[in-house]
Structure 1
Amino acid sequence: MNTNPRIALIGECMIELQHRADGSLQQSFGGDTLNTAVYLRRELGAIGSVDYVTALGDDSFSDAMCRQWADEGLGLERVQRLPGRLPGLYCIQTDAGGERKFLYWRNEAAVRECFTTPAAEPILAALPGYDVVYLSGITLAVIGEVGRERLLLALIEARRRGAKVVFDNNYRPRLWASVEAARAAYRPVLAEVDIALLTEDDEQALFGFADSEQVFAAYPEIAEVVLKRGANECLIRCNAEHFAVPALKVERVVDTTAAGDSFSAAYVASRLKGGSPAEAALAGHRLASRVIQVPGALIPR
């Protein structure tokens, strides 16, 4: 293991509104890769560095995000601040069983220009210098076609220099013009992935795979494929070996927001610290089981 890994996570953080039973709203911040970045930083402890790569506005909410990220120990050097722009916003509504529904306002979010501005040039040039580069399907959706093309070139160069690319599929149909457009964006990125953290339901919705066997068969070139299956056991294929790791049961699910994000963070942290795939999956289940018992994406430290 690299004892001081440099990790970059790419994506979007939004203003989060948590809808409470009494009708009130609690404001915080969240986004899939940001959630993973925070939990990864916590899980790694004093090991390595974790930078977040995104674009924000020059407003007070963006200021507050940066303060919170710095307080969590995230590096902000790759965060662009675009004058006159704003971050996106979403509201979480949860039912009695803890299942969530999201309402989004993100069409004008600053992150859509993350890799199209002149300020993006040094950021893209810096990405191949990291040991791990992490992104998601939501990242691909929000950065747009030009951003995807430029990011893909950086990922190819990063791997050429020895970096590991980690990808969480996180498919959200509403972010894409069509399922065909999403497939066209995912496929070239999946060809450059070293660790794929895939949610089974998303794979079925995006590519129509009927079962886990079809998912694994679709990615023979990816060295490590982790199939997340909610409350069921996760399935792993790593260098031709297969593992099944049961999830941890909890008595009461409060909010499933960031369950997959936190699993991914603990999984990657464990692997970076020398854990086996099975040990990493157990760490992922352990953290996710804590997260789903607390409202919101980020639980208190």
Structure 2
Amino acid sequence: MTGEETICCAGEVMVELAPAAGERLYQQGFAGDTFNTAVYLARAGLQVRYLTRLGDDALSSAALAQMRLEGVDTDSVAISPGRVPGLYMISNDEQGERQFSYWRSASPARELFDTVPEVSPPDVFYFSGITLAVTAAGLDNLVAMLEQLRSRGTRIAFDPNYRPALWGERAMAQRHYLAVLPLCDMIFATSEDDALLWDIDDPSASQAFYREQGAAEVVIKGNGLTAYVSSEGEQYQSRADRVDAIDTTGAGDAFNAAYMAQRLCGAGIGESIAHAQALSARVVQHRGAIIPRDE
């Protein structure tokens, strides 16, 4: 791995409304779990493109402009005429923990896998459980695309990012996850999500589960700020220092980006975890999913 690898991230770009300094004031931006990761990968100097669908309205044009400003290639962004992107609003408690309200039922990203997208094979393809949920009707086409990419040497990275509200029932989510997991080389999971989705509440058991599905490298973000990594028979564990959080939105997405960026640039697992935890800690001290470029 040289750091010159190409990465394609797939998912949904949404309009983000994050609390601002004043009461009942919000700042508008663009975010989405895999999009956040794409931005932080690009800021780390990697070659990143984003696969999604947007509309032809002013907000979609602004989202495209933001991608280009961040150095994210937009050649894989398709346009759905007459459509507008989804929107979400962040609410935070006193500890900075976030809750979301969504308006995304007509998001054009839901149609991303209505057909099998033509994707020039990157070195790494990254998607998430939210990508899986919002495009659930296109599961067969997503699987076909992943199989095509793997056959041409692409490594698949996946963040399960399970959100029960996006699924009609847990059994449906499990069927979709089990369809894609055997195609994934790297997993970024959380103990919280694994407990909800698989009834697995131990990081070692989570690692064993994903290795059984075929993953070569498994990263578990456990409870208590501890990260656990299993790779090539080796086990790693690192606890992060606690910081005063303002908004936890995007912390996990940033963690994934920093970890992948370091690994793709040839860093060891211990160094990669340290960078991931450091960036995640910075993100939670800012409003919204993505730290402003001027900061």
- TM-score norm. by structure 2 comes to 0.95
Distance 1:26 1:231 in 2: 30
> Corresponding residue for 1:300?
292
**Paired residues for 1:150-165 under 5 Å:** 150-165=141-156
> Corresponding residue for 1:125?
118
State which of 206, 225, 228 in structure 1 corresponds to 2:221.
228
> Corresponding residue for 1:276?
268
Q: In the superposition, relative to structure 1, how do residues 3 and 95 fare at CA in structure 2: closer, same or farther (>3 Å)?
A: closer
Gaps of 5+ in 2: none
AA in 2 matched with 1:126? V
Question: What's the secondary structure of 1:191's corresponding residue?
Answer: helix
AA in 1 matched with 2:27? Q
AA in 1 matched with 2:14? M
**Displacement after TM superposition at 1:199 (Å):** 1.1
Distance 1:42 1:198 in 2: 23
Question: What's the secondary structure of 2:66's corresponding residue?
Answer: helix
- TM-score norm. by structure 1 comes to 0.93
> Corresponding residue for 1:50?
48
> Corresponding residue for 2:63?
65
**Displacement after TM superposition at 1:102 (Å):** 0.4
AA in 2 matched with 1:298? I
> Corresponding residue for 1:263?
255
**Displacement after TM superposition at 1:231 (Å):** 4.5
CA contact (8 A) 1:17 1:90 kept: yes
> Corresponding residue for 2:4?
4
**Displacement after TM superposition at 1:70 (Å):** 0.2
**Displacement after TM superposition at 1:115 (Å):** 2.0
Distance 1:88 1:14 in 2: 5
Which has the larger displacement, 29-38 or 155-164? 155-164
Q: In the superposition, relative to structure 1, how do residues 3 and 226 fare at CA in structure 2: closer, same or farther (>3 Å)?
A: closer
**Displacement after TM superposition at 1:23 (Å):** 1.0
Q: In the superposition, relative to structure 1, how do residues 98 and 19 fare at CA in structure 2: closer, same or farther (>3 Å)?
A: same
AA in 2 matched with 1:61? L
**Paired residues for 1:179-218 under 5 Å:** 179-218=170-209
Distance 1:235 1:134 in 2: 20
Question: What's the secondary structure of 2:207's corresponding residue?
Answer: helix
- Does residue 174 (structure 1) correspond to residue 165 (structure 2)? The answer is yes
Q: In the superposition, relative to structure 1, how do residues 300 and 17 fare at CA in structure 2: closer, same or farther (>3 Å)?
A: same
CA contact (8 A) 1:226 1:237 kept: yes
Q: In the superposition, relative to structure 1, how do residues 27 and 228 fare at CA in structure 2: closer, same or farther (>3 Å)?
A: same
CA contact (8 A) 1:235 1:242 kept: yes
CA displacement, residues 10-49 of structure 1 (integer Å, 9 cap, x when unaligned): 0001111113450122211110000000001112x2x4x2
**Displacement after TM superposition at 1:3 (Å):** 4.6
State which of 206, 231, 252 in structure 2 corresponds to 1:238.
231
State which of 77, 83, 86 in structure 2 corresponds to 1:85.
83
Percent identity, aligned pairs only, is: 41
CA contact (8 A) 1:112 1:143 kept: yes
Gaps of 5+ in 1: none
CA contact (8 A) 1:231 1:249 kept: no
> Corresponding residue for 1:38?
39
CA contact (8 A) 1:92 1:103 kept: yes
- Does residue 25 (structure 1) correspond to residue 22 (structure 2)? The answer is no
Aligned residues: 290
CA displacement, residues 73-106 of structure 1 (integer Å, 9 cap, x when unaligned): 0000000111011111110001111011100011
AA in 1 matched with 2:51? V
CA contact (8 A) 2:84 2:107 kept: yes
> Corresponding residue for 1:103?
101
Alignment RMSD: 1.3
Question: What's the secondary structure of 1:125's corresponding residue?
Answer: coil
CA contact (8 A) 2:227 2:238 kept: yes
**Displacement after TM superposition at 1:153 (Å):** 1.2
CA contact (8 A) 1:98 1:255 kept: yes
CA displacement, residues 110-152 of structure 1 (integer Å, 9 cap, x when unaligned): 1011122xxx55xx2325x11100000000001122x221111
